Amino acid sequence: MVERLLDCVDLTIEQENDLKNTFPNIEIIKLNELTQQNTEDITIMYGWSQYLPDIDQFCSLKWVQTLSAGVNYLPLDKLERNGITVTTTSGIHGHQMTESVLGMLFSHTRNIRQSILNQEKREWGITEKGTDLVGKKVMIFGTGNIARQLAKTLQVFDCDVFGINRSGRVVEGFTQTCSFEEGNEVLRTVDIMINLMPGTTETDHFFNDDLFSKMTNGVIFINMGRGSSVDTRALIKHIKSGKIGFAALDVFEEEPLSKDSELWCLENVLITPHISGATDKYNERAFNVLMDNVSHFTHQEPLKNRVDLELGY
């Protein structure tokens, strides 16, 4: 049976040939080749695009393989209603996002960011001694693939790493795992807080005024999960008060971040434009996930990284 795959990510010629040679029953249709007629014949979708017709028009669609780990940008209700399976590229982000976290931490703890600013002004000397990671208590919200990779790396620095998830289930690689409720008891003793949670209705504004108020004074806060998880007004309030001593932010409620945002003006804030998961190896790694799952799909085996459309991750 021929499976028609809609390519929304612009596969390279080499990747197309690899896909066709490995799976002769796969026919690739480019996004710019999509018509009303062949829309009805698409059975697999690789990636996503804002220019796609309404998902209800894809009456033969069985499976969407995303290019991302998060899926909060997809019409999950419609996908679930139409019985369409969604899988992600979960597992290919751990290395680069771990390195991004370390870069953000070191920019603050080792005064690298201040040194860059001083270099631009040709100024010598740093007034702050800085600190190190050794022995720090770190709380990571989310215990998925990225969080586990990060926890493993932080433990090289003898950090105590606490993982927070919905149920408090034990996850290998953490000093301890807690539920959302149990995590509140540990907040006051944590030096570094890192958000890696997906964007769902449950995590919307999870980091609010009440939660920030429970943190240690001078805590380091890093957000690489979803911007919707953080109440920006509350975040700014607690940065200004000193409750948050340093914030490194890669995701925001509004993207791109408005030039009028007060976050740009705060000295103890590092802003990156949603790039923590980016790498020159990304498309290659994502394609490997696709190839693996196409093999499972054609052999009617369970697909990897399947999303629970009701939970949103």
* Catalytic annotation, residues: 226, 255, 274
State the SS3 of the chain.
CCEEEEECCCCCHHHHHHHHHHCCCEEEEEHHHCCHHHHCCCCEEECCCCCCCCHHHCCCCCEEECCCCCCCCCCHHHHHHCCCEEECCCCCCHHHHHHHHHHHHHHHHCCHHHHHHHHHCCCCCCCCCCCCCCCCEEEEECCCHHHHHHHHHHHHHCCEEEEEECCCCCCCCCCEEEEHHHHHHHHHHCCEEEECCCCCCCCCCCECHHHHHCCCCCEEEEECCCHHHECHHHHHHHHHHCCEEEEEECCCCCCCCCCCCHHHHCCCEEECCCCCCCCCCHHHHHHHHHHHHHHHHHCCCCCCCECCCCCCC
Degrees, nearest 5: CA angle 215-217-219: 70
Give which of 151, 214, 221 is closest to 183, Cα–Cα: 214
Degrees, nearest 5: CA angle 184-133-129: 115
Other Cβ atoms less than 10 A from the Cβ of 188: the count is 11
Give which of 137, 134, 135 is closest to 163, Cα–Cα: 137
Degrees, nearest 5: CA angle 240-245-246: 100
